[in-house]
Each structure stands twice: as structure tokens, then as C-alpha cells.
Structure 1
Amino acid sequence: MTDQSDTLRSELRARLPDRLPPRLGVAVSGGGDSVALLHLLHEITQDEQTKLFAATVNHGLRPEAAAEADQVAELAARLGIPHETLLWQGWDGSGNLQDQARQARYRLLTDWARRSDIPAVALGHTADDQAETVLMRLGRASGVNGLSGMPYARDQNGITLLRPMLGITRKSLRDYLSQLGESWIEDPSNHDQKFDRIKAREALTELGPLGISAQSLARVAENLAQAREALALYTQETARKIAKVDGGDVCIDRNGFGLLPVEIQRRLVVGAIAWIAGQGYPPRGATVDQAVTAVGEGRTLTLAGCLLISHQDKTWFCRELNAVATETAAPLEVWDKRFVLSGPQTAGAEVRALGEAGLPQVPDWRALGKPRQALLSSPAVWSGENLLAAPLADYSNGWTAEFAPQKPEFYSSLLSH
């Protein structure tokens, strides 16, 4: 084993969990970064009690994609690593192609991991990818979160996504593969100037004389990631003092909110919205500013599938009724990606929003002290047009509403943004 191999392996291992899970996944596109990751993880897992599994996402966007996935399968077989090709189907041609493909890739990988009992999947993002991300976010005038770049680890759909190579350059990985005598696939889109990421890649070559490199920008991102973690911890501690969870809603004391630094106000707003409406891209800066102002002034606002309601000296963050008006689920299934309702076996029972038709059937709902609109979007059990139960409106009839297993607790979720 060469000194370079030892160095890369040491750097990569330092960014992985201290104890690897018994089964670890790795996403391999066939490009140089992911092929190097596959080899390095193969070396690492030989010495640890971990079995490695590989997956390739075929987006079906290029004629060569199927053959490239087959090449990865052959490489994995040569290394004795189980491999599966995941095919993206169903894109209707709408929306931003790169964004749609990215979301599909993560969905396919996390579905594969859950299906295969794999708790964590390693991804091949490098210091160059991190630097390009920081440059693009500079162009959008991002704050601390945006400029901290991609995290080394994050949870998505109940699977931990690991990026252990964010401190390693693309060149060093290709040098390593060349020493191994290993080939890789060059994606032609990596030279397509219509993509912002490729423009950022070209811009990096011009910034070298200023000392701005992939490695320096990756270090900037890491420094800001530490600041992000400190701010997230302060936000969590603050939330425990001025915010409470009531069913699926978050109720914030406006007086306490008004005393906070603006950055913490913004983080609390974004965190509450993300916890209620689901993870995804957070609202843009100007929209978040509107929400912060609405809380401070006690105004009602609809934002990202949530409703902010002023009620006495509090602001309630709740699900917007329109966002769940057509959501249905059977008992014991997940409704609105948040709740699981269970109760007496009832033929034809269905979970839907309580809504305008259901609230009048709930006795004494006013005694709960909650805003009417917050109750409308809560989950209820129906048989046709007859309301059987509304557990979060204190009308249970033997039914309970619990958070889905993958749903994080609100306060802990504030550390994941």
C-alpha cells in the first residue's frame, strides 16, 4: 500500500463514525470520485466488522447510462461487493432537471438502504464539490447555514448519508486511482457550461492566484459549520424556553421571541416550519423575514404549507388545511408524513383532516384553547361523512394519534438544519 493510499484512507476514516454499522452502503456512479470511494471503503471495511454494499442510480438520461451502471457492477463483483442498479423512472420533463435528478437519486438510495437493512450510505462528494457549493451560495448571498456547505453527515428518510471525502480533492483521488491502475467514467455533463456548478468549477481555476482553492473554501465551510452548530444549539435552548409543542403544532411566546437576536428568530421560524411541513429546501430569505415580522407583529401568514396564527400573546405554527385537504391514509398508515392513528377495528375507517365538516362534530373544542384553524388541519378518523374520532382535538373514542417512527422530536430537529 502506497503512502498516498494510507493518507487517503486515514483522512476518509477520520470522517466516518467511530464505529461503523454492520452494513454500510456506498453510492457509486462510476465517476472517479465514487470509484475511489468504493476502493477506499473496501480497504477500510476489510479491517472492521462491516459488510459493504454498493448501488448505482441510472437516471436514464443518457444512452450510455445503462452500460456505465454495468461497469460499476463488474467492478463491485471484482471486489466481492454486492451491487444493485436503481432506475429512475417517471420524470415528466417539468422542473429543474438537475434538482429533480438529485432528489430522485437520494430517494432511490434511501429506499434501497431501508429495503436492504443498511442504516448509512456513503457519498462521493469531495473538497472540490464543497468549494463549488460555497461559491454558488455566495452568489445567492447565503448566510451561515448556506456557506457552511454540505454536512459530513445528515439524516434523510431515516438513513444517515455520509460524505467522508469533503476534505479530499478530486485530483488526489484520481491520482490514487491511476496508481491502482483503475479506470473511471467521465460524465460529459461535467463540462457543460449551462450548469451553474460547472461555471463555479471554472471560476475556481481563476481564483487560485488569490489563494482561493478547493481546499481553502472547504476549510471555510468547515469553520462556518462549527458556527452553525453553535447557533443551532442556542436556538434549541431558546426553543425549550419560549416554544411548546401541542399535538403537531408549535406555539411560540411572542414576547420571548421579540427579545431574541434576529438570526435566532429566523432559525426558530425555519425550524418550526420544517418540523411541521417536512424537510426540503427551507423558505428563501425574504420569505423568512416576512414570517419573522409576522410573528413580531402578531399577524397571520401562510408559508410553505404552514399557517402562522396569532392567538392571544402567542403565535401558533400549524399545518395549513389546504396542504392536507386531500391527504388520506388507512389506520396504522402514516398520514401527512407525520402521524399514525390507531384504534378499534372499524370497517371502512379512513384518516383525513378534521376540516370544516368535522370540527362542528367535536364537542367542546373551544375548551382546548387552541386556534380554530389549527384544529382544522389535525388528523381525524372518518367513516364516510361520519366523524369517528379526532384524537388531537380531544375527541378520541378509543383512538390515538402518535408521531410516525421517523418523525424527530421538535427540539432535537432544530440541531439538524
Structure 2
Amino acid sequence: MSGPAQASASSSPDAQATSTAAAVSPPSFSDLTRERPFMQMWTARLFGTAASQMLLVAIGWHMYELTGSAWDLGLVGLYQFVPALLLALLAGHIVDRHHRGRIVAACFAVQGLVALVLLLAVLEKHDTRGLLLGLSLVLGAVRAFQMPAQQALTPLLVPPTMLARAMAFSSAGMQGAIIGGPALGGLLFVAGMAVVYGASVAFFGVACALVLRLRYAYTPAAREPVTLSTVFAGVDFIWKRKPVLGAVSLDLFAVLLGGAVALLPIYAKDILHTGPWGLGLLRSAPAVGALVMSIALTRRPVERHIGRTLLLAIGLFGLCMVVFGISKSFVISLIALAVSGGADMVNVVIRQTLVQLETPDAMRGRVSAVNSIFIGASNQLGEFESGATAALLGPVGSVVVGGVGTMLVALTWFKLFPSLAQRDRLVVAAPSVRPPAA
């Protein structure tokens, strides 16, 4: 009796309408939190990012205590950037050929070992400039593998319809860790540098253990030999997919032209006349804006007109830089930077989600590696561009010209990449096939 009755009920028009509505209704935030593998990975990234921020702050302070040289501080950043850039394409190939969860776990483990070596060096009084620079190279090499592996792993943990919300929630966690990690490290410095390194070891250990316990569907890819063709496959893929090329290159030029981080000390001291405390608030304002926006996008993700929204967000980012550049008010400057962080977060969530959805799983590691190159290069070159134009035009002229250039890039991309500008949804529904008439 129960079987036929259930079949009859499910075939009624009302039941069919209800099931169809349930099938097309967008997933909620509570649905996302029930995705256990994703939440486990989210927690691991929270611990790992906080540990990484504490470790980077500690290494910078440690180097300056040892040498008192601003040049050596710059070398720490350079030593981390160069191997990340040189190894990125090879790392993407490896990420596409091996278990991504294990790669992420190995990256956390290596960073934990770096923190442990520094802890022992401090305790045994064997800490040297050469040791810090050598370990900076190791951290840069690890970053080349960790970034594409993490980005390519997320789409395997949630359904495609949840990916935008998952990206926003991941960004919220990362921004929270980026803000809280250095603050926690600063508090722990009171107890000594060894305590900071010890806390980093513990946090990396928790992150590694969580990822090793992660379970998700994994299909081993065919083991191709490493050739120039396979290594550069990500570059070729992005070049041929115009929506992906438009989104990635848009972010490159926006950060390259619109970034003002390198000039914040000048603004804090000479233009806004606030001093070190003001510099700290100025540097944190974009992260606070990004955190607020990522929480909002977690609750209400962008579902329609995503291409236009992406380009408008970049235009708003450029406008905020213009306002910041000409502002003489500390409050207005803070608001402009916070809004710019929120606008950039809209760009980050839409771009990363679009790139992952447009990329086949077998290519996600290599495409994410190319994306990480664009991000790293734009950040480093953006600081150089800001300094170079500031030397010619002054700090205000540099920031204003960069902001105007960012808005012009957003307008130009409307014409250069119409497939991106006209994109309506992140997930493109398959065309419905009408059954033939009887």
C-alpha cells in the first residue's frame, strides 16, 4: 500500500511543482554550514592563515632586531616572492596530478617545521640573518603550491550552486585571520619571540591534522610527463576563455594601478598628520571593509548580472582611490579605504568563483597557479608603480592618476570583453530540451 500511494502522490501536479521549486531554490547559508568537508577545510585555513600571519610578523620583527636594516626587511619579502613566482606553473601542474588535500596538508606541515626551526634557533641562540633569509625562500616555495591547491580544492567540497557563497565565506574567514593573526602575534610578543613561534607551530599542526582528516571524492588524473605544453596549459586555457581572461586581467590592472599601500606611510605622516597610530588604522581599513562585505556576500551572494557587477566594483574601487588621494580628512580617508576593500572583495569573490566554475577540474590547479602569478605580480609591481609615479607626480598625483586609470580600465573592459560584461549568472543553466510532441 505505501509504495503505490507514495508514487501516486509524487506524480501529482502540486507535488511536482513543490519538488521543482525545491530543486531550483538557491541554497542558504545554513545549507553551506552543513557541508562538513568544506567547514573542516574552512577551519583548517583559518588556523593556517592565522599561523602564517603570526609567522611573517615574527620573521620581520626578528630580522629587524638582528640587523636593524630596512634593506634586509625588503629582502625577506623578495626571498618569499621570487620562488613563489618561479615555481608557480610547475606547482599548478603538480596540483592537477596529485591529491590536493595532501598537498595542502604538506604545505602546512612544512611551514610548521619552519616555525619549529626558528623556535629552536631562538632558544639555542643560533638565529642569524642567513637562517631567516633561507627559511624565507622555503616559505615562498611553499606558497607556490599552497595557493593553487587551496583554490582548486574548494570546488570539490561544495556543489556548484553553493560555490559563490562558499568563496565569500572563505574570504570572510581569511580576512578575519589576516586581521586577527598579527594582533595575536603582537600580544604574544610580550611573552617573547619564542612564544610566537611556538604558537605558530601549534596552529600549523592543527591545520595540517584537519586537512589530513578531510574526505572528499577524488579521481586520480592521468600521469602525463612534465612538458612545456602541460606546464603552460593553464596560460593557454585562460587565453582562450575570454570571460576568464577578462576577469583575471581586470584584477591585475586594477591592483597594479589602484593600489596605494606603499604610499600609506607618506599619507599618515605628511598629508593626514596622524603618525604611527593613524598608519595602523589606514592599513587595516581595507581589510575591515573586505571582511564586512565578505560576510554580506555570504548571506546574500550576487546571483544576477555578475559581469556588470564585477566591472562596476572595479570602477568603484578606482573612485575610492581618487577620493582617498585628494582627501585631507582622516575620517574620509578611512571610509574611502574601507569602501575600496569592500569593492575589491566583490571583485575577489566573483572572479574566483567564475574562474573555478569555468575551469574543468583537471585544469584547476594550473589555472589557479596562473591566477596566483597575476595576483603576486600585481601586488609587487603595484607597489613599484606607486613609488615610481609618486617620485614624478607626488603621492597625491600618484594615487589620483592610478584611481582614474583603474576606472578607465573598467570602462575599457566593457568593450574588450563583452562576454564577461554581459554574463548574467555564475552557474550557466544547461539549455532545456522540450520533449517531442506525441
TM over 0.5: no
Using the size of structure 2 for normalisation, the TM-score is 0.23
Structure with greater strand share of residues: 1
The structure showing larger relative contact order (alpha-carbon pairs under 8 Å, at least 6 residues apart) is: 2
Using the size of structure 1 for normalisation, the TM-score is 0.24
